[in-house]
Amino acid sequence: MARARILPLFVPNWGCPNECVFCDQKRISGSPLPVSGRDVTAALEKAKGERLAGLELAFYGGSFTAVSPLLQRELLEAAQPYRVDGTVAGIRLSTRPDAVDEAGLAMLKSYGVQTVELGAQSMLDSVLTASGRGHTAADTERAAGLVKAAGLKLILQMMTGLPGSDRGKDVETARRIIALAPDGARIYPTVIVKGTALEDMWRAGTYAEHTVSDAVAVCADILPLFERAHIPVIRLGLNPTAELSAGGAVAGAYHPALGELVRSELLRRQAEKVLENVPAGFAVTLGVDPKRVSALIGQHRSNIAALTEEFSLRALAVKGLETAGESIVLVDVSP
């Protein structure tokens, strides 16, 4: 079934009591202004004027349930007429695990909120502490249980490459998130955003950058775990914004097509298994579903170059093969 179109409204981090080292929410969301009921009305009037219907209104960017209950109600109240006239089909929001309780969730549900996204980020307390998160993994487990018990859909967000983490710890976080059986997940490899504490740590040499290739490697470990558990990963990598692209992202795993790079890496790993027994010096043609040809070739032919070198091949070509399905097949192997 097609997903409803999302209308995002960014609640800046002024509702948040915390200073996570990686966070400059105003910069990430591209919205420096606090949102109010009037903003919600204006955004929905515009959507209505454009004859958009069945939208999913999304309060993103901060910690919705950490802002005052009065403001939460103001924002949700403003959306109600548009639920009645069909402009809004659902409401989702993101928040911190330690800002969730039963009464608050019941209030959200009474206003038509259907989905709550929790920023778990890591399931290791040592990583959460090093990242200034101000909550524990147990808080995430408790909050996830409350969201599900309230009959709301649960999305869990995790990050890779946080201070104090490594590839193995990121995989462990993924496993513990999967064990909480969310309805979906988002994976955000750490980006060093200008003006954050993380930038200071990186410049001082107390934090090592999580590069794009680090992120691709660990996400290629993690993604199949979610797939096997039938948990959709609805986002991989920060949404590119003009500001981040223009220097707001000073280092780290910022890439506009990170998901593509990860899918390409997964295909490279799959091709490695297929090429295992091919003698050195041979020329090989691999067949793959036509939709996956360019991902197997890799950006700037990176997979072709890497596989050719790894297996000392004379040549390596890829062709579309309707019958390949999920596999990569050897179409031709010549001395």
Binding site for ligand SF4 (CB under 6 A): 13, 16, 18-20, 23, 25, 62-63, 96, 119
328: nearest Cα among 279, 275, 252? 275
The least distance separating ligand SF4 from the CB of residue 61, rounded to whole angstroms, comes to 7
Long-range pairs of 47-53 with CB within 8 A, sequence gap ≥ 24: 47/7, 47/82, 47/87, 48/82, 48/85, 48/87, 52/5, 52/7, 52/87, 53/86, 53/87, 53/89
Task: Indicate the residue among 75 and 295 with the shorter CB distance to ligand SF4.
Answer: 75
Task: Indicate the residue among 97 and 298 with the shorter CB distance to ligand SF4.
Answer: 97
Residue 98 contacts residue 65 (beta carbons within 8 Å) = no
Task: Indicate the residue among 19 and 227 with the shorter CB distance to ligand SF4.
Answer: 19
Cβ neighbours around 30 below 10 Å, total: 14
The least distance separating ligand SF4 from the CB of residue 169, rounded to whole angstroms, comes to 19
Task: Indicate the residue among 20 and 238 with the shorter CB distance to ligand SF4.
Answer: 20
The least distance separating ligand SF4 from the CB of residue 48, rounded to whole angstroms, comes to 29
What whole-number distance in Å separates Cα of residue 316 and Cα of residue 275? 10
Task: Indicate the residue among 16 and 304 with the shorter CB distance to ligand SF4.
Answer: 16
235: nearest Cα among 9, 60, 22, 66? 60
What whole-number distance in Å separates Cα of residue 204 and Cα of residue 98? 30
The least distance separating ligand SF4 from the CB of residue 133, rounded to whole angstroms, comes to 7
- For residue 11, give both structure tokens: 């609640």
Task: Indicate the residue among 23 and 57 with the shorter CB distance to ligand SF4.
Answer: 23
Query: What are the backbone angles phi and psi of residue 150, rounded to the nearest 5°?
Result: -80, -5
> Given the structure tokens 């609805």, which residue do they identify?
234
The least distance separating ligand SF4 from the CB of residue 99, rounded to whole angstroms, comes to 8
What whole-number distance in Å separates Cα of residue 218 and Cα of residue 222? 6
The least distance separating ligand SF4 from the CB of residue 95, rounded to whole angstroms, comes to 8
